[in-house]
Chain A
């Protein structure tokens, strides 16, 4: 029965947004993690979303869920700061801070939580509709 597909769709969206929230948390908590070289510095991580097209083509149906293709690290250069008295400073007296943009991450978090709420509402409504359908003709 196709009505249960709506739970798959909303479920995939919820897990995708959940991953996004996790990445935001990771980025924000590591926003001030200092290191002494470019390569060791934490880099901002972002999810890549894509529609589940393959399954849609197989099932002759237009409605598709969300796939998380992967997590990419931002290639922006880390912030370099001159702090010779810092214990992690390199030979030239510089420390490296992650390329996390906290304002961007905060808006990302808001957007993710709104989308998550949308999916929860969809699941609730679909559940109600199905329950009413099951009660059809019993009144």
Chain B
């Protein structure tokens, strides 16, 4: 019986990628907390995972000028946040909210890491057969 790493790790590797991108996005929101006209963005995690689980048909690239759709699944699901207290300079970042979301996202990243760690430990003991 061959060990299939994709099956063994399940969704957690994908979740890790999505969480990582969300960390980037929220960091960008926090970085631009004082930039006029900056609009806060976030990932719709559900739709990202759904898109990763069931990859849609991709457009074939037949010429070098064509855009490839290889990098599409992540990044297209970013949505603008609806501001609770929009400021006069057009900025929609609420830094307290972003801090909380950043902490939440970091924790969820660690959860995914923990799951992966468990899976790897299981695979290791299966390989050693002790």
Contact = CB atoms under 8 A, between A and B. Distances in A.
Interface stretch (A24-32, A56-64, A95-103): A56-64
B117 A139 contact: yes
B113 A132 contact: yes
A89 interface: no
Interface residues of A, number: 38
A104 B36 CA distance: 17
A66 B31 contact: yes
A63 B36 CA distance: 16
Contacts of A132: 110, 113
Nearest to A5: B24
Interface string B10-42: 000000100011011101101111111010010
A94 B78 CA distance: 58
Contacts of B116: 136-137
B78 A62 contact: yes
A121 B33 CA distance: 14
Interface of B: 16, 20-21, 23-25, 27-28, 30-36, 38, 41, 71, 75, 78, 95, 99, 102-103, 106, 109-110, 113, 116-117, 120-121, 124
